[in-house]
Amino acid sequence: MSTNDSKRTRRAALTAVLACAALAAAACGSADPGAGAAEPRAAAAFTPAPQETGGEILVWADATRVPAVEQYQKAHPDAKIKIVTYSGNANGANDLQTKVQLFDRTGSGWPDVAFSTTFGDVAWASAGGAQGRQPYAAPVNRGVIDKSVLDGFATGALDPCTVGGDVYCVRNDLAQNVLWYNKKLMADFGYEVPTTWEEYRALGEKVAKEHPGYLVGTAGDPWAPEVYFWASQCPASTLTAPKKVTVDLGGDKCTRMATLVDSLIATGSISKESVFGAGFIKEKADKILMLPGPSWYGQVLFASTFKTPDKQIAAASPLKFSAEPTNYTGNVGGGVWFISSHSKNLKAAADLVTWVTTSNDYQATAGTYPAFKQAATAWLEKQKESGYFAEDVSAVFTEAAGLVWPGWSATQYSQEAIYASTVVPALNEGKTITSVLETWETAIKNKAASLGYTVESP
């Protein structure tokens, strides 16, 4: 390099450094993204947009729920509806929030009605955006949907939709966990259905010895924490205020379940795969003896995906720890419907949401357990009529619906995604859940903090 070149380079570097220093010095505002964000608005501040009765409403739903909207359209020929099919935010997708963020910026385009499979969406949909923007979701209890309708939902079903005393979504279905088992196999092997986690563990160890290859559960699904750790009352995330969360995976209630699952993974009776993995469906689906999991496993997993023959699958009550007085269950999903606070057709939107969540015409025939009590009764009746299950599941489903442990809060971040990216790879490397509990806890805390939550220790 010539002397001139060298001088030029030095001069350019100096200029760049000075420019950076000037830029840093020129700062006059805070770069903290939370500094300009408004606190979540009180529902009293909800101001509906000027209403235009008779106009078209835009509805976003996943492919499973689109038939419900089409059925409503058929039953209400005068309703003007435009349907957009999207992911429903399943499997960690984030489409609805992504688009709403953009609509917030452009000031238009929000869907009047949106379905989401993730009730964690309530956390952002009920909160105001930066610069005091109105939250996406309308508080439906503020004159949007009749109180008599909201009162008809199962006890606690609307809790995940409720923020600051107002209801920001309407629950489509419940996803309470039960203990699924293959009644035929259990009888063939001469086993009793367990009622406690201790009995479940003992049976799992017995199965590994007497019938190797048969399974009593899976831990490679993203929703494994919602099946095992939620039921064990492990405080993975408990909201103490709208943006304050307590995370503690070090306590007994977490370690007891981690140890239990680890011991059964070690014997081979709990699989490290996901129930929807191609390999699992091909090779393991007919090896399932028991499977703690959500109510939707019955039709969606055993009947449609695994093609398990009729009259084999039955459901038992959620398990409890013998030292506990009550059995608790987690909640794996359970979709929600939002009505946009920006909608110019609140009445039409409310009518649609009310129909799809409460009408027996649709809910009684849906694949998942309805959150609306009356529809749930009709749905259970249909399940009995279908003749698929080995026993009537009504009593177990109804019992489990009221046993969801309330200590696990709906947050803006997904427990499923964090477990999947932190614990599942570790399991596949041969590590135990117990050995990565701390890493898992740190991942939850980091994610919470990155989304503006204040993380507190218990």
Partner 1 sequence: MTTLPASAPGHRSGARGTDGPAHRAGDPSRRMGAVFVSGYVVLLLAFGVLPTVYAVWLSISNSRGQLVGLGNFIRTFADYRFLSAFGHVLLYLVIWLGTLMGLVVGLALMLHGRMRRTSAALRFLYYIPGALAGVASVLLWLIMLDPAASPAGWLLRAFGWETLAQVIAPDHLPALFTVIAFWTGAGGWIVIMYAALNNIPDEVLEAARIDGAGVVQTALRIQLPLLRKWIAYMLILAFAAGTQLFVEPQLVSTVSWGMISDSWSPNQLSYLYAFQAGDFHGAAALAVNLMVVGLACASVVVFRAGLFERD
Q: Which residues bind partner 1 (CB under 8 A)?
A: 20, 23-33, 35-37, 91-94, 97-98, 101, 104-105, 124, 129-131, 220-222, 272-274, 276-279, 282-283, 412, 414, 416-417, 420-421, 424-425, 428-429, 446, 450-452
Kindly give, in sequence order, each residue whose CB lies less than 8 Å from that of residue 149, ignoring residues fewer than 6 positions away.
354, 358
Whichever of 177 and 414 has its CB closer to partner 1, that residue is 414
User: DSSP E strands: which ranges in 47-193?
Assistant: 57-61, 81-85, 113-116, 162-163, 166-167, 170-171, 177-182
Whichever of 51 and 446 has its CB closer to partner 1, that residue is 446
Whichever of 50 and 107 has its CB closer to partner 1, that residue is 107
User: In angstroms, what is the minimal distance from the CB of 440 to partner 1?
Assistant: 13
Q: Do 405 and 230 touch, CB atoms closer than 8 A? A: yes
Rounded CA separation 128/125 (Å): 8
Paired strand residues for 270: 217
Whichever of 36 and 251 has its CB closer to partner 1, that residue is 36
Kindly give, in sequence order, each residue whose CB lies less than 8 Å from that of residue 436, ignoring residues fewer than 6 positions away.
422, 423, 426
User: In angstroms, what is the minimal distance from the CB of 87 to partner 1?
Assistant: 9
User: In angstroms, what is the minimal distance from the CB of 133 to partner 1?
Assistant: 9
Helix (H) or strand (E) holding 283: helix 278-283
Rounded CA separation 197/169 (Å): 34
Whichever of 25 and 241 has its CB closer to partner 1, that residue is 25
Structure tokens at 154: 């199962």
User: In angstroms, what is the minimal distance from the CB of 428 to partner 1?
Assistant: 5
User: In angstroms, what is the minimal distance from the CB of 375 to partner 1?
Assistant: 29
User: In angstroms, what is the minimal distance from the CB of 346 to partner 1?
Assistant: 25
Whichever of 132 and 251 has its CB closer to partner 1, that residue is 132
Whichever of 362 and 453 has its CB closer to partner 1, that residue is 453
For the chain, the residue count is 458
Helix (H) or strand (E) holding 449: helix 437-450
User: In angstroms, what is the minimal distance from the CB of 450 to partner 1?
Assistant: 7
Whichever of 73 and 422 has its CB closer to partner 1, that residue is 422
User: 252-260 — which CB contacts under 8 Å span 24+ positions?
Assistant: 254/229, 254/437, 255/434, 255/437, 256/232, 256/321, 257/197, 257/228, 257/229, 257/231, 257/232, 258/229, 258/432, 258/433, 258/434, 258/437, 259/434, 260/197, 260/200, 260/201, 260/228
User: In angstroms, what is the minimal distance from the CB of 449 to partner 1?
Assistant: 8
Instruction: Look at the alpha carbons of 398, 399, 400, 405 in this order and tell me if their dihedral is positive or negative.
Output: positive
First to last CA, the chain: 62
